[in-house]
Amino acid sequence: MNPSRAKTPRAWQRMLSGRRLDLLSPEPRDIEIEDIAHGLARVARWNGQTKGDHAFSVAQHSLVVTDIFEALWPASTSNERLAALLHDAPEYVIGDLISPFKTAIGLDYKAFELNLLDAIHRRFGVGQLSVAAATAIKDADTVAAYYEATLLAGFETAEAEEFFGIPKLPTELHSVLSVLHPVSAKDAQTQFLLRFEKLSPH
């Protein structure tokens, strides 16, 4: 092949909304919540290795994390709760790589992910988070992982406690999470959008 005619590798993705998102230099104007909800509802957590008739989606996980975050931090603001809902939003285009694989890939992947998350935050007006709020979101993410691991992903309780710790939640929320089960992509997408509308400042 003539080098002068070689095509530049494509680094953008066409969305169902018609937007074209440049993954290397994402612009907030090219990000739509409908695309995020659609994508996250169809990305499986745990590489799809979960029980149930449906995959346990990142959209449903994001809702669970937001519920846990609100329970752990009842004085949190709508901005902070929106950040919790969107904490895995970049996965609508880059997928949900399991933590061991992210570690193997290294810092470049994390920087890429954070760059896209920053564009998403700017698009939807998510303000700067305090260290405490960011830590609380991570804690909620870890608690969610414990329930997902033990109820859906085949982990023994002792094994999950080793990796995720022992969760401490209000009794009512614990009862709800104890019967956690995957919902359909359509339902997860709808619920994600409804929660976004509730928390969004726009």
Tens of pLDDT, residue by residue over 146-155, are: 999 999 999 9
Q: What is the dihedral of CA 115, 116, 119, 120, to 10 degrees?
A: -140
Planar angle of CA 36, 28, 191, nearest 5 degrees? 25
Bridge partners of 14, per DSSP, are 20
Q: What pLDDT digit, counting tens, does each position of 94-139 carry?
A: 887 766 666 666 657 778 888 999 999 999 999 899 999 999 999 9
d(CA 168, CA 104): 31
With 0-12 CB in 10 A as exposed, 13-18 as middle and 19+ as buried, what is 19?
middle
Give the pTM.
Answer: 0.90
Does pLDDT of 3 surpass 80? no
Does pLDDT of 11 surpass 80? no
d(CA 87, CA 117): 8
d(CA 4, CA 48): 42
Backbone angles phi, psi at 177, to 5 degrees: -70, -25
Q: Which tokens in the block code for residue 140?
A: 């909620």
Using pLDDT thresholds of 50, 70 and 90, give the confidence band for residue 190. Answer: very high
Would you state the pLDDT for residue 64?
Answer: 98
